[in-house]
Structure 1
């Protein structure tokens, strides 16, 4: 059911995801990110803001800290999974997997490790965690103010 907390969470986290995606572009090789990177990360963040943070808005600012950290971790995991899955599809279309489907599925997780190491940047991680908490607090404010 739509509430002000869910709407605020979706909007705030969607904008935050757009900012994070833009912040992570220089970390790609030759600063060349895929064309879908900005909209996909902001879409993932929008959904996480609606489903995770917005649904829990209105319970207080202390629980919002944990919710913000959870949302930040979920955004990071889903974004790394999306880029890894895309890379697996590119490799599969180039016939790089001789072992079949299982080799491709396992390679998604190997790609996730590679991309996670590539994105292991202190300012990006700090922005992800602190920004997640701030976005959760803003969502909490709207969840309490407009129930």
Structure 2
């Protein structure tokens, strides 16, 4: 059922996903085609905010910060996984793998490689501050619109 905290959490994570995706593209490889990278991450932000953060709102301010950090961790995990699957499928269509298990293992290797791009200080700070602000905004929405 749609509620204000779910909407606010999804919208806030959408904004953070947009900002971080832009930072990753700016820090990434020169001339690389990122395709729908930003849009996929923004969609994942809405889904993680709606399903993970929205239903946990209304439990207090400390829980709100923890909720924001949990939602952001879920967004990062699913973002790395989905982008890893996308890259694996792109490479599989070019016959880069000898078998299906090698392709499945490469999803996690690609995810770790993409995760190394998140270690840049400006990206880490954006994720942490975005998580805290998202958690607090979701909590405020839960208190204001019951």
Q: TM tier, shorter chain?
A: over 0.9
Cα distance in structure 1, aligned partners of 2:33 and 2:60: 38
Question: Counterpart in 2 of 1:142?
Answer: 141
Question: Counterpart in 2 of 1:9?
Answer: 9
Contact 1:7 1:50 in 2 (8 A): yes
1:83 shift after superposition: 1.6
Is the counterpart of residue 87 in structure 1 residue 87 in structure 2? Answer: yes
1:112 shift after superposition: 1.1
Contact 1:11 1:46 in 2 (8 A): yes
How high is the TM-score relative to the length of structure 1? 0.93
Contact 1:26 1:32 in 2 (8 A): no
Cα distance in structure 2, aligned partners of 1:11 and 1:60: 20
Contact 1:17 1:46 in 2 (8 A): no
1:121/1:33 CA distance change after superposition, 3 Å: farther
How high is the TM-score relative to the length of structure 2? 0.93
1:27 shift after superposition: 2.2
Question: Counterpart in 1 of 2:60?
Answer: 60
Q: Which runs of 5+ in 1 are unaligned?
A: none
Q: Which runs of 5+ in 2 are unaligned?
A: none
Cα distance in structure 2, aligned partners of 1:118 and 1:58: 34
CA RMSD of aligned residues (A): 1.3
Q: After the TM superposition, which residues 1-147 of structure 1 pair with which residues of structure 2 at under 5 Å, given as runs?
A: 1-30=1-30, 32-98=32-98, 100-147=99-146
